[in-house]
A and B are shown apart, each in its own frame.
Chain A
């Protein structure tokens, strides 16, 4: 097996080797070419899809620019979330403080755009200079009559995961402020779905057909008013476990709402999620409707999967994504396509996720937490992978090695959730793995290209 950074040894394992739990949720080693981002990034990606809220980044310009409309979190109505607002702190604010600038910015923006709420993201520098964002937010909220919510997301607090927690805290301040009147008993909130490529719309349509009411989307295509009454829902569905499990737990504690962890990727998990919901509501008619729905949808998707599988059978895949729950679904989805997962990893998985992955994957599959380019490229070459499923920074890495690629993160333009999503995934994987370009592209030219 490839040598990995000595300090990272505990973060790499193989399925079936019976060793101790994988080490995770620790800071990347200083000096590593980490694929990870920061706390600010975590909170920004979770909250930003709330489309009728103002999202103001309190900090230097960069933090706002790098998170400006990069995620494709679609909205069916307002698109305020797609604009980039920054207090653009300059040297003098670092010296004298940026509270006045923050207040002025909030007032001006709220007056112009009449948002339903405002989120103020606290960046590294604001944490260090000590602006009292809480006090400014309270003041502006009193003056404007809308919730102004600080998000304590100083980048140095840690990795993306800490940012998810900050986002959940911010959401909790909004939840419970609205009226729950008129919410039916078969009602859910969708947690941890960001409506990339319109995915949440697919799920909503399934739920509608089942007879389930969606109270609030957290946060894809989200609206402030819906979120404020989310505590009236009967069940929380947690899709991106990394980002919103904490919120579900908190809502359970505070409002007694049970939650289910679900995944909408792949046929098994998608069907499992819907059946789980129907069973929760213990409504035989709903269960029957769900059965019909699943049967109908799968019958439409299976021919596509079968057609792609013919070419993909026996090919090898590597997965390196943000959240571990997504990785788990991907292993299953790839299996459906006849592909073997040779490597699977995530940026933010926890011990439980990795235990599950070890049980799920075939013996010998490499499992990694918080990997880096050298490690990934060495594994890709050693394992002779035909496909890499990852995010923006991994794409060119795969291509240089002559490995096909499927984006499962920001750059995704086709929905991969739902039954229909499985067909899209199959087509996308097929398109890349079977692209005519690979006949011209050299692959794995050096068995050991990088010493780690």
Chain B
């Protein structure tokens, strides 16, 4: 299928081939699902909502609920106000959410619908019941990527609910932090909470899709599963001592918003994937009053033990990493710490900051690495053709390249459309690093076994 990819890389002026990113609204939808009893709402044509739900469903294998304004030709000419008013009315009378999180699309952005004005109208018309909320994020599909959309909806959570609160926790109370976990799996959000609480702290995660998109089989369909950050928690963001943003791209803006509105200082960290980034995350929690328990120290010890046991297999192995910027940066550091050589590092997001950050992470190894922002999978394939690697890390779309180039491949990031289990297993924290590391090791050693000539096919590796 990728027979058409030429090896020679030429500058393309106008075209994306096999994109490495998608559009803002789906990110906003994923973030909104991390609010308790929230119905995401797509203000645009039916298709956008349908596609986003399908795509998220394929990744999480769980029901993904969201409503749509169902734009028609009329709406595209005369504006979408009637659709949104009717839509909010339908939503509140039918689906009874506590919050509706509206995201725009390229269409509603271009025709210039003013969402706060329309929501104000809905308020005046009594469409929004008492105690219920409508929040919104502008998510034009022609700017940014799905990560931007995720970030924008996280910002909306802070913008609509965070407020200054004088009464900080007493010295005897548990230390309290807000955490913006970034675009990670529900299981990762659960793990971040587990770690934080293991340090004797209280954490408000926003968004928090644990319990929403990995809900148990119960025998009935829940429009709103039990997980998600509550409105009350969001209204109390100002009570925390700090807001930790995990990831510059997906989380930083929301932490800034909390700081501006509720005067809670922010701290921007990397996603805690791998040993170094997890160390820094824990160090930060400790600084905010957490106490690292023996159990977590042991988890770290087990991870170090894993790396000691396996470092010879990782040593100088070439790896290509593609995906969302926060993940790619953290994965690059993890691979470096395993002794691997990240040869190609690519994201679909735009921004020189990505190149700077990856360069910094790689340190003296940066010179030999192709770092691409605003790239696509076609470019990644070309890069790999020019300089082959031993392992590819990326989302499901990497499978085409892995097949074409006969590469060991580990699925990590979003979306993963062709495997199950990723939303239950973790990649963050020390435990997640062992899970991810062993997947990578399996891929490398399976290849070694597969390629070994009979005399060299050995029982013990």
Contact A156 B22 (CB under 8 A): no
Known pairs A37-B51, A66-B54, A85-B15; A444 contacts B220 (CB<8 A): yes
Contact A373 B221 (CB under 8 A): yes
Contact pattern, A 68-106, Cβ under 8 Å of B = 1, otherwise 0: 101000000001101111111111011000001110110
Complex Cα–Cα for A31 and B25 (A)? 16
B107 at the interface (CB under 8 A from A): yes
Contact A65 B111 (CB under 8 A): no
Residues of B within 8 A of A63 (CB): 47, 51
Complex Cα–Cα for A63 and B51 (A)? 8
**Residues of A within 8 Å of B, CB-based: how many?**
86
B158 at the interface (CB under 8 A from A): no
Residues of A within 8 A of B62 (CB): 396, 400
Residues of B within 8 A of A415 (CB): none
Selected interface stretch from B181-189, B190-198, B211-219: B211-219
Selected interface stretch from A121-129, A206-214, A357-365: A121-129
Selected interface stretch from B81-89, B241-249, B264-272, B365-373: B81-89
Contact B107 A156 (CB under 8 A): yes
Determine how close the nearest CB of chain A comes to the CB of B89; give it in whole angstroms.
Answer: 7
Which of B72, B75, B142 meets A60, CB within 8 Å? Answer: B142
Contact B15 A31 (CB under 8 A): no
Selected interface stretch from B6-14, B289-297, B356-364, B430-438: B6-14
Contact A450 B22 (CB under 8 A): no
Which of A37, A70, A86, A113 meets B19, CB within 8 Å? Answer: A86
Contact A442 B54 (CB under 8 A): no
Contact A61 B64 (CB under 8 A): no
Determine how close the nearest CB of chain B comes to the CB of A175; give it in whole angstroms.
Answer: 27
Interface centre among B69, B76, B88 (most CB of A within 10 A): B76
Residues of B within 8 A of A156 (CB): 44-45, 71-73, 75-76, 107
Complex Cα–Cα for A422 and B67 (A)? 36
Contact A155 B14 (CB under 8 A): no
Contact A83 B50 (CB under 8 A): no
Q: In this complex, what residue of B is CB-closest to A159? A: B46
Residues of A within 8 A of B39 (CB): 33
Q: In this complex, what residue of A is CB-closest to B71? A: A156
Contact A157 B73 (CB under 8 A): yes
Contact B219 A108 (CB under 8 A): no
A253 at the interface (CB under 8 A from B): no
Complex Cα–Cα for A200 and B215 (A)? 38
Contact A442 B217 (CB under 8 A): yes
Residues of B within 8 A of A27 (CB): 46, 70, 72
Q: Which of B44-96 contact A (CB under 8 A)?
A: 44-55, 57-58, 61-73, 75-76, 82-84, 86-91, 94-96
Residues of A within 8 A of B2 (CB): 83
B16 at the interface (CB under 8 A from A): yes
Selected interface stretch from A38-46, A140-148, A241-249, A274-282: A38-46
B223 at the interface (CB under 8 A from A): yes
Contact B51 A452 (CB under 8 A): no
Q: In this complex, what residue of B is CB-closest to A391? A: B54
Known pairs A373-B221, A450-B221; A396 contacts B57 (CB<8 A): yes
Complex Cα–Cα for A86 and B22 (A)? 11
Residues of B within 8 A of A59 (CB): 106, 141
Determine how close the nearest CB of chain B comes to the CB of A57; give it in whole angstroms.
Answer: 9
Known pairs A395-B57, A442-B219; A33 contacts B106 (CB<8 A): no
Residues of A within 8 A of B89 (CB): 31
Contact pattern, A 348-380, Cβ under 8 Å of B = 1, otherwise 0: 000000000000000000000000011001000
Q: Which of B150-197 contact A (CB under 8 A)?
A: none
A435 at the interface (CB under 8 A from B): no
B110 at the interface (CB under 8 A from A): yes
Contact B22 A61 (CB under 8 A): yes
A446 at the interface (CB under 8 A from B): yes
Known pairs A41-B50, A83-B17; A452 contacts B63 (CB<8 A): no
Contact B87 A30 (CB under 8 A): yes
Contact B87 A396 (CB under 8 A): no
Complex Cα–Cα for A34 and B95 (A)? 12
Contact A127 B1 (CB under 8 A): no
Complex Cα–Cα for A56 and B238 (A)? 48
B21 at the interface (CB under 8 A from A): yes
Interface centre among A66, A79, A112, A381 (most CB of B within 10 A): A66
Residues of B within 8 A of A125 (CB): 106-107, 110, 141-142
Interface residues of B (CB under 8 A from A): 1-4, 6, 12-19, 21-23, 25-26, 39, 41, 44-55, 57-58, 61-73, 75-76, 82-84, 86-91, 94-96, 105-107, 110-111, 140-143, 145, 215, 217-223, 378, 397
17 A-B pairs whose Cβ atoms sit less than 8 Å apart in the complex: A30-B84, A33-B95, A34-B49, A34-B68, A59-B141, A67-B51, A84-B18, A86-B15, A91-B140, A91-B143, A128-B110, A374-B94, A377-B221, A396-B62, A399-B217, A444-B219, A446-B219
Add 12 more A-B contacts to A5-B90, A125-B142 (CB < 8 A).
A37-B47, A37-B50, A60-B23, A63-B47, A64-B16, A66-B54, A84-B18, A85-B17, A124-B107, A381-B221, A400-B218, A401-B221
Interface residues of A (CB under 8 A from B): 5, 7, 27-41, 59-68, 70, 79-80, 82-91, 93-94, 100-102, 104-105, 108-109, 112-113, 123-125, 127-129, 154-159, 373-374, 377, 381, 392-393, 395-397, 399-402, 441-446, 449-452
